[in-house]
Structure 1
Amino acid sequence: MFKVLIADDERRVVKMLKASIPWEKLDMELVEPAYNGIDALDITQKNNVDIVITDIRMPGMSGLDLCMELQNLNPNIQIIIISGFADFAYAQKAIQYRVLGYCLKPINYTEVINFLKIAANNLKKDIPINYDSLLESIENEDNELTYTLIEKMQLDPKIIYVASSVGCNNIIDKIDASLALKIGNRKYIYLSSNPIDKQAAYKIVTSKKSKTGIGIYPYAVDASELKSTISDTVIMSYHFFLTGKSDICERIIKSSATKKLFTRLNRALTLNNKEELKNILEEMMQIDCSTIFNISTAFKFYNFVYSSNLLGQIIDKEDRYLYSCEQLVTEYSSFSNMLNEMYSQLTQKNGTDYSMIKSCNSNFMSIIKYINANYEKDISLKSIADTLHMNPNYISQLFKKETGITYTQYLTDLRINKAKHLLQTTDLSINEVSEAVGFNDYFYFLKTFKKIVGITPGKFIN
């Protein structure tokens, strides 16, 4: 948000300006007001104010003198002057200090809002060109800023072709794209004003031994559509999870059969019908699910099944859930493996009931030590259990008893706290910080950071 200072010795004017302008909608926040010129200069310096709305006549320092000092302090600062009719000629002198404009009293608030919008546009032009800014503007659907940055990156914001790759290094040159945005480990978004080279993309996936996926959006989009387009394209690039081999995808896989299957699944879970869930899994294991599922619906299917207790799991529900498609791929590698694992858990006899476990300090300390040493890796409850030769149910229950929170909460809080430290003490980009603390999806990191900290990483830095 841009910081705005209102400076006027009339408290009534300050109060009316505060109440009459939709500051949040303008992506602006007010700092404490000033009632004289000296305080206005001091508050501006202390708060890194971007925009100043000032009266022309104030005690201590006139508005005109304040304009001069503010320009010396920050040449990019945006200044809007308000004045009485008698001060109009005086206010015109402020033009030499590059004021944005002046408004006569009584104040026309529509006029003030228009000046504020111009000020915001001027400030956005000075935003440095970097990929973090572009990704954050896309995530926040700040179309105005996205347009500005796209144009600065020599792309046409009205005609943008989008592609995505997972499981390989940057392929921007091979597919003839203009811009590559890294959004995770070996995970990229590509933007271009020209169509993506599909032949080159096919050669890449057929030549890779490890599983690689490329998604190509079927047509060009406007910059205002980038958030949903990127989301769809990333889903396409994960189609290899469904096929079990490196793949290229040019459309979102959707099917009426999937909707019917979810209706049937929901009924089985609601009725706690273990036999029907078994039938569903058996049928799915016999068909080619890549024709009716995509990574998003596979992810939904996973969380649907694990929201029930039919698999004999007593793990805390929050620990059972996965929170990104990336976790699903890391955990199971393919949809077929996921179904086999579910079927195995469903048909095996119930083992030990860990819900009444007693605290074991040595075991708990081993778990905490392992998490703290490996939080930046793709660790899950299952991988920790395998490494420490423990049962996932046991770890989940022990964690809740010892800490009062779930394993998932602990790991997420740990990663976000580490991210805050890196953002404050290093020159790493937000994307690099995201990877460094164990998030392999840039957009998921942005959402999680904002949910826990209250602001985006970009605003946290500033």
Structure 2
Amino acid sequence: MYQILIVDDEMHVVERLAGTMDWESLGVETVHRAYSVQEALVLLQTTTIDILITDIQMPGMTGLELIATVREKWKRTKCILLSGYADFSYAQEAIHHGTADYLLKPVSEEQVRETVQRVLQQIQAEWEDIVSQQRIQHTLKENLPLLKGNLLNELLQGRRYGADTWKPRMRELSIPDFQDSPFAMIMVRMEEQFLHYDAHSLSLFEYAVSNIAEELFSPHYDLWHCKDSHDYLVFMLKCKTSSIQTEVQQHLERTSSELQKAVSTYLKGKISVLVSNWGQFPEDMTTLYNQALSLFRKRIGSEHNLFMTAADTKIHDEPYRTLQRLYELPTLTQLLEAGRWIDAREKLLAVFDELNNQWSQSQEYVLEVFFTVSAAFSYITHKNGKQLAELMGPDYYKLTEGLPFRSVGMLRDWSLRVLDQLKADMDKEVQDSRSLIVQRVQQFVDQHLSEDVSLQTIADHIYLHPVYLSKIYKLETNQNITDYVFQLRMEKAAYLLKNNQEKIYEIAEKLGYQRAHSFIHVFKKHYNMTPQEYRDIHTAGKL
């Protein structure tokens, strides 16, 4: 849906064009009004305007100067010049500033409609070109390394994708097919010398390390790498040939050692390198990654320039006993922050299924889930300016009872119940907040109907962004604010015409119309009769 801004110091021109045309049929969501260049510039800074329709001659800055500013700051906004001056020099200057079209006053609604429709078609064609397959492929190629790394990082962190999701993404990003293949990981930590550099310089060194790794490994391995959340460089490798496993392992270790030496020789810095065991993609990814992290933490620690393999330790013989679903991405806290209540519920159910199936007899794991879930609930509640005690009632006191739950089932029921309470409270707060916004908008319009009741003015009064205000009002009332203003003006006009003897121009002024003929025009279009005809019909029986 499109946004249009009409700018003219003659209020009746703005009101006639904004209030009487069937903009919705053109796909226009909101028509903004401005009565000076200064007011238009304020609105342009806060709202994405698709088409600007502006007069030329206005106090202060001219429409041509406004268009020049728009071309400099908001290049995608199309401009239509509206003027009563049939002077070719204006048209020349307008063309120089890249104006989409030029209309002479007095202009008919049909002319405006045809012009706007033509410009909207131009906008549509431009966006179709932007999102065309060729542009997408070009952009994808430019950002390919980052996108590849992001996907690998998400998989390492435990984000669960169905095969029908990550397989197409891997193909799209030209990532080698690791499916059901043996793979190993190499984890690299940049050491102290590199860490003295600023972030930009460090990223260049990391890029250089990745290039060296590509050069060394790519003849024999398919490679996929990223920088993880702990600032390690992680390389996933799959052998290109079906060689004997022991020979592959020896070659992998030797080449990894060469990587460490090359970085020292050519980049003048030290790295620590860890070679993982082999696993199967994708099911072993998180396990091997967490094992590698554990080895770095337990075996390498704060020492520098070390090289080791997982085969050197017995850690691969030890079960990696942790609650996978509790910590994999997205976390419960992230889901609560995003308001993804259905996903948060599914996350909890998955956590409790894992807990029940594997560690239901361990009070330690039950307690771990309790603390983690409680922390997430506490965090989101406090972030929303509330206290858990007032929100949870009797359930709150479970948090203060040492070991509050003796079974997985009891903890599960409590967690889901509190989640529902959180959602209900958030929903009520959102609904109350939106209802209050609608109430304040309507109250302001009612009290200032004869003054400036543009979207920007109302937004400034309520201290909300005009785009946000417009969308919230439409969601709650199924009506645009400008439609409400027009409807209220027409209703008040009908009431005043029926119940007092004020002149037509006096009623027009009360309703915010600077010129009586503008009021007469919109009233006739709305009621299919002039204000005087309406008054005559509804007061005839009172005489």
More helix by share: 2
Normalised to the residue count of structure 2, the TM-score between the two structures is: 0.32
**The structure with more radius of gyration:** 2
Normalised to the residue count of structure 1, the TM-score between the two structures is: 0.36
